[in-house]
Structure 1
């Protein structure tokens, strides 16, 4: 531990390797961008303007202009929202003079507080199209704040904030209407959560939790005038509590909203156009799939976007076995693919309607990487990769509105992120915006051996991506213990060639590897890689069995390829779904895995949340066998190795009671294991000073004590 402890402290305590990100806001005319920044020697930030072409800097909201009227106090800006006209800024600041939201007028330099009352919040889309009003919320209710008069107009008045929430609100194009989604959770049962406080007389807070097979929130769509009055509810034919909404937006005009509706199991999707004036509803698009049409809202690459004067829209579909973008007519009669057949779109980039281009992310030949491509919006021609061929790895672009410029961030597993301004489509680098040079210099001595990316062919046409980190003093003539990092579920990949590679644990894994381990991660089928719909849907019915089999098969294939892999010494660890797969590995493959560290697992799948698990397994009533085979608790008798289970008593995701059911089962079976609970910590185990460091030190210590490092 003495060798690894300073490294882990440098990562999680002193933050010596923290990377800086570049954040700026493009101006609507694409001529430049706005950035909140503090110059050297100054005490607070100001908002600067940079010309895109020349890089010339000017100050839009100067530090000296942030003095609160009639005081000597200066506002400290945390973030800002620019009005569509760029004549006004909403500043989020420290609380001064009774307000933490202020408005700044660019032309006059006037600064005045937002007098909307206590508890009011404003989102990124707060400004009305003309910049004269703000859309906000107080608790569960929506409101409009008139800037000139400081008048607050309530739009909704639902007093039961425990059950009712009005959200996903947006301005109509003409600024006269607000569309929103009302969620009613009154039928969703509550569960008690311990509130930290007096150790003798404990108190509890009840929160609602939509469990698999139980009630979920009921949703309805409303449109209300900005001057208040009754909401116009859009009547859907579906039974309440049987669907989710992927998105709600305006259909390019102010009398019609777009409703992107998903069935509870996500096996059906409908896009409907609803006229809030006439109550007419028409169907623009529909799709079904035996498994799922849309996997999980947070994993989907995007909703839909209108083009051609709102006559057509762009949507994603996997109907031919690959995730592709289609241009669909308003009546749904025409559906034209615009991205390449036989490969997946990973995520949308931007639509350049003026010049007829669709920008998107893809990587047809390597699922571990991310590149920028563009295709013609009319579906003709051949897609072209714009990311230069000499920049392998993963790329992210923040486009200017006209698609001429982009903030481009590039990294690999071994190369920290850098951000430059590029001009498209040539991808000409204009200037560096953030090079992270200081942190990169500190990291460079730690990366003695490049991370190796491999492909593991386990037969039957299944080829899995993997990476391996070798020790600093690696000797290929000797055999090394293996420490596997696993996730293996549909929500994420661990085998990505970017700086976050391995869910952000890459520096920790390097520190562990240098002790004398081979640290390995494998993406089995069912993970969300761009390998086609069949790859992703292969786990439908039960999460756990397939990933366990394929992870073990991948490990054996790795040993055949790499004779220095010691299969008699194998450890495995993972977080959340990776914690569940760690349990599955030790319980179902005891001859393969000898030590496991399961962090916040879900060993009883039937008690997890409905929104995620039902996509992949439906409900226990519909699929009892899938839930039996998908729950690690049912295989606990197979434990022979050393197991550490880590969780938090404040879990709101994989509740501690789910884990303690497994603890009781292991006790009943007379199994030896270790169990560590962090008091009042949630799923990320990050609350409280020193917690993150303690968790990673605990993992390292348990590994060293139960699977000693070093070659043989």
Structure 2
């Protein structure tokens, strides 16, 4: 028996030794590329379109596919057939899918916004029509397809496709002063939209937002570039407690050519505008500055009268969503956390609650739509546990709930426009994405795409299994995962490296397939580290109370949870409690900085990438949602700022930032640098010139960063 055991161990060790280790350059050179479907654009009927690129001919196509068969039905447009365009980078249809807007020469502005040259392509005549000779933003067909509205130089324009005439409808647009129809920086980043204008369904009105950012403080960054002298990027950025843009709602009527300013009461923000199914009624969402009092207005486009049809308040804050959906009679779907968990509600057109459609101690995580003919609502939720996602259907009356996806893990549906079919993307921690076609009853019709080749390829590598568990501390029980070295021996002690993000409503512990960082954690596990991720208080999908406990105290409870989790993990026989490190990016960098300072008896080392070091430096909308203003809550800002605890540093600390970060400004790291210098604390630092918040642009940028972080870990943890 003893010989058999020895033989088994020997064979297992040999098999393991024959497998390759993951090299850092492989993570970033495409070795582990996951096959994915291009983003589906659901078309009228049971069809969808994809934009494809032929590398051989260097041409772009928009191809039409059948949901029922997944077969390509036709190529709608091929750039090979267009004299004016060698390729195109984006496309969008008009309502009846007889025309497309094609975009080229795109240049980014901020995270979501961009400029480009755009053409209208007529499918029947196969002709192109240039919208504007200059670069423009957000060209959008009118519902009757006769016109295109767009923004240029902070003003709004309308192109008449029949006459080729262009009408300018605003005239006061000015950089760093007035913006018409396009969001300012902070709206784009924190309310996650760029196009701030909308056509009415009868094509007679355009509603738009006007941003007066004249009094918003200006932020400037030096751009090193490649020339003899650097340049400056100057833009309006309202930090916490500072002046925001004055945002107003306006309505332009194409028949009268007049613009009217619309009164929607007292507010600080207008985070959403959307026309209802009544062409004469515009819906508008407003928020107060604390973001805990929301009004949904209905505006009459004929007489400009307004009425509040829904008011929602919260003791902390209200998250903005895109789930507002109007039925034919103008009753509407709304999602809310008002019962303590995010659920779906049905209201009448007058704003009276008809019923709460979903209920329970779990969260709705995505609303896909409603089939009015069958009175069926489709949604995604965490009913199978907060680390999983499952697709469900339910009737409008809250009955006949049906699970549409069977596997436990992460399921996400892309529905056809009429909700008759959906393509489900499934993955879990051990299964790369599998795409399958289903009908609306959940019946699987066929497999669309899998990643079997990637799975086979990974069999040649040393891959540790991600183990999910919950960790209990004095303040609660939290979701976590752990990676152990493949040759793990419970009789040995290993250094522990913790990863986290920890921001409000976020989730880092989820049962889904690898991202690039997961491969990096596998690399570190191969080097003899145990990797653990813990989602503490303040993270998402476990109810409003769990998420909002950090209100007005960002960095207090979350940091305590990471420190307490490290203490508990250090009690395990196979973890060396004297060799614990932590890292994070952005909010996670704020956290890792606080952890090595306030938990200096627990953490031996920390890496902070692009960290916030004081919430006084971050933007108004995000920060005040969770903290109120610095003037109202100075202790909340200062008692949790790493700047004020630099003197506590005893471990090894690496501080990384991109100098071109327009989101979390490098000012944060520079001020942290000064605090550490004044405290006479040694640390390491890496500044990546002109790189933005993601630190990825430029040859080998990510490879260089991860090599640097890996070397820092190897030299300072477990050595």
- TM-score (structure 1 length as normaliser): 0.90
Q: Deviations over 1:262-312 (max 9, x none)?
A: 111111111111113212111101111121122xx4xx4x341111411x2
How many Å apart are 1:28 and its aligned residue? Answer: 4.1
- Residue 246 of structure 1: aligned partner: 271
Q: What per-residue deviation string (whole Å, max 9, x for no partner) do you get for residues 67-92 of structure 1?
A: 31xxxx76323222122212222222
Q: Distance in 1 between matches of 2:619 and 2:459?
A: 42
- Higher mean Cα deviation, 139-148 or 533-542? 139-148
- Which residues of 2 match residues 2-81 of structure 1 at below 5 A? 7-12=23-28, 14-23=29-38, 25-26=40-41, 28-38=43-53, 42-61=57-76, 63=78, 66-68=81-83, 75-81=86-92
SS of 2:59 mapped into structure 1: coil
Equivalents in 1 of 2:669, 2:128: separation in Å? 52
* Equivalence map 1:541-580=2 (5 Å): 541-560=552-571, 562-580=572-590
1:235-384 correspondence runs (5 A) = 235-238=263-266, 243-294=268-319, 297=320, 300=321, 302-310=322-330, 312-379=331-398, 381-384=399-402
Rounded Cα–Cα distance in structure 1 between residues aligned with 2:55 and 2:598 = 58
SS in structure 1 of the partner of residue 472 of structure 2: strand
CA 1:177/1:500 → structure 2, altered by over 3 Å: closer, same or farther? farther
Match for residue 446 of structure 1? 461
Asked whether the equivalents of residues 122 and 136 of structure 1 are also in contact (C-alpha less than 8 Å), the reply is yes
Q: Deviations over 1:560-602 (max 9, x none)?
A: 4x43122111011000111011111110011111010111111
1:624 aligned partner = 634
> Would you say the 8 A contact 2:46–2:418 is kept in 1?
no
Q: Conserved in 1, the CA contact under 8 Å of 2:428 and 2:513? A: yes
Unaligned stretches of 5+ residues in structure 2: 1-18, 107-115, 182-195
Could you tell me which residue of structure 2 aligns to residue 155 of structure 1?
A: 169
Separation (CA, whole Å) in 2 of partners of 1:537 and 1:357:
32
Identify the residue that residue 413 of structure 1 maps to in structure 2. Answer: 429
When normalised by structure 2's length, the TM-score is 0.89
Quickly say closer, same or farther: Cα 1:350–1:478, change in 2 above 3 A.
same
Q: Deviations over 1:382-431 (max 9, x none)?
A: 5332111xx22111111111211112111122322222222122231334
Deviations 1:140-169 (A, max 9, x none): 112222222222122222231322222221
Contact 2:67–2:416 (Cα < 8 Å) also in 1? no
- Residue 224 of structure 2 corresponds to 196
Distance 1:228 1:690, change over 3 A: farther
> SS where residue 510 of structure 2 aligns?
coil
What is the aligned partner in structure 2 of residue 519 from structure 1? 531
Moved more, 574-583 or 16-25: 16-25
Shift of 1:232: 1.4
- Residue of 241, 245, 248 corresponding to 1:213: 241
In the alignment, is the contact (CA less than 8 A) between 1:648 and 1:656 conserved in 2? yes
How far apart are the structure 2 equivalents of 1:267 and 1:4?
Answer: 53
Paired position in structure 1 for 2:403? 385
CA change 1:78–1:661 in 2 (3 A) is closer
Report the CA distance between 1:130 and its aligned residue: 2.2
Deviation at residue 546 of structure 1 after TM alignment:
0.6
Instruction: Name the CA distance, whole Å, in 1 between partners of 2:704 and 2:307.
Output: 56
CA distance in 2, matches of 1:59, 1:439: 30
Matched, 1:473 2:502: no
Q: Secondary structure at the match of 1:416?
A: strand
The Cα shift of 1:493 comes to: 1.3
Q: Per-residue deviation at 1:472?
A: 2.1
Please name the residue that 1:121 is paired with: 137
Q: Secondary structure at the match of 1:548?
A: helix
Return the alpha-carbon distance in structure 1 between the equivalents of residues 696 and 523 of structure 2: 20
Change (3 A) 1:691 1:40: closer
Q: Residues 423 and 430 of structure 1 are in contact (CA less than 8 Å); yes or no, is this contact kept in structure 2?
A: no
The alpha-carbon distance between structure 1 residues 352 and 705, as it changes in their structure 2 partners (threshold 3 A), is same
- Using the alignment, how far apart are the partners of 1:700 and 1:404 within structure 2? 48
Deviations 1:40-59 (A, max 9, x none): 86542323222222333232
Q: Does 1:136 align with 2:150?
A: yes
Query: Which segments of 5 or more consecutive residues in structure 1 lack a partner in the other structure?
Result: none
Spell out, residue by residue over 1:13-45, the C-alpha distance to the aligned partner (whole angstroms, 9 max, x if none).
Answer: x22222233125455432222222346865423
Contact kept, 8 Å, 1:394 with 1:497, in 2: the verdict is yes
Deviation, structure 1 residue 203: 3.8
Query: How much has 1:317 moved relative to structure 2?
Result: 1.6
CA contact (8 A) 1:116 1:150 kept: no
| Residue 32 to residue 596, structure 1, CA distance change in 2 (3 Å) | same
2:185 maps to: none
Among 548, 567, 587, which residue is 1:537 paired with? 548
Contact 1:122/1:134 (<8 A) preserved: no
User: C-alpha separation between the residues in 2 aligned to 1:203 and 1:116?
Assistant: 29
Give the one of 74, 83, 87 matched to 2:98.
87
Q: 1:430 to 1:131 in 2, by over 3 A?
A: farther
Q: CA deviation digits over 1:523-550, x for unaligned, max 9? A: 001012x111100011011111111111
Pairwise CA distance, 1:259: 0.8
Secondary structure of 1:547's partner? helix
2:604 and 2:42 map into 1 onto residues whose CA distance is 56
| Shift in alpha-carbon separation, 1:5–1:587, aligned structure 2, 3 A | farther
Counterpart contact for 1:374–1:383, Cα < 8 Å:
yes
| CA gap 1:706/1:341 in 2 versus in 1, 3 angstroms | same
